[in-house]
Amino acid sequence: MKHTEMEMKLLREEINQMWKLVISQLEKAKQAFLNNDIDLAREIVSREKRVNAFELKIESDCENYIALYSPVAVDLRLMLSIMKIGGTLERIADFAEGVARHVIESDCKKLDPHVIEELQIEELFDMLISMLTDGFVAFESENTKISGKILAKDEQVDEIYHNALRILTDYLQKNPEHIFCGLKVMVLIRKLERIGDHCNNIVEEIVFYVDAKILKHGGTKGM
């Protein structure tokens, strides 16, 4: 194996390890929120430092690879995509940490269980974990056909988000004593909706790397 191929393999392994860590963070955030598990939430906050370290190392290693080997075509696209995916994964982990801090710092009574169920927060978590996992599979297998499945799930995420705003608004109008807690939950749901957007951004980078096409802003331009 050539030295450049070995370096590229190591970079792919780094982004894969980071990806798995972020998926784990999101899965733990789901459990911490649903079970009000403060210890698990603190573990998520502690592990955020590992995510940040991954992002910095991946960015530095990609920059060094580009500077040393001047890659072109698919190799250059891979380096650029890995850098951007690393940054996006770090932002997703930030939102997972935000969920954990919500659990740790929450100083309000929990909303009625039936309201939490009606908001479909558990289903929202499951969709996001699935989107992030499907993105990992798409990158690993270089199969962009999966991208449509991920983008379709984001539409479902948006639907749940908008329904949740309506449900919370109606609930808080009838139960004004829960406004503080309800607003905090609304912010949390917004964080989850943003994770879906970031999963879309990852899909765009995978399509750029594999198919040399740009999906941003609705474009399908080839390169």
Question: 170-179: long-range contacts at Cβ-Cβ below 8 A with a sequence spacing of 24 or more?
Answer: 171/111, 171/115, 178/108, 178/109, 178/111
* 8 A C-beta contact, residue 57 and residue 76: no
Sign of CA pseudo-dihedral 133, 126, 157, 198: negative
**Residue 124 near residue 189, CB atoms below 8 Å:** yes
- The pLDDT, as a whole number, for residue 221 is 46
The pLDDT tens digits along the chain (223 residues) read 688 899 999 999 999 999 999 999 999 999 999 999 999 999 999 999 999 999 999 999 999 999 999 999 999 999 999 999 999 999 999 999 999 999 998 766 667 788 889 999 999 999 999 999 999 999 999 999 998 999 999 999 999 999 999 999 999 999 998 898 899 999 999 999 999 999 999 999 999 999 999 876 554 444 4
What residues pair up with 213 in beta bridges, in sequence order? Answer: 222
- Residue 202's pLDDT is 97
Closest CA to 113 of 185, 165, 191: 185
Give 3-222's CATH code, choosing from 3.30.750.80, 3.30.450.20, 1.10.10.10, 1.20.58.220: 1.20.58.220
- For 222, the enclosing helix (H) or strand (E) is strand 221-222
Q: For residues 177-194, b (16+ Cβ closer than 10 Å) or e, as one string?
A: ebeebbebbbebbebbbb
Name beta bridge partners: 222.
213
Cα 150 to Cα 132: distance, rounded to the nearest angstrom: 8
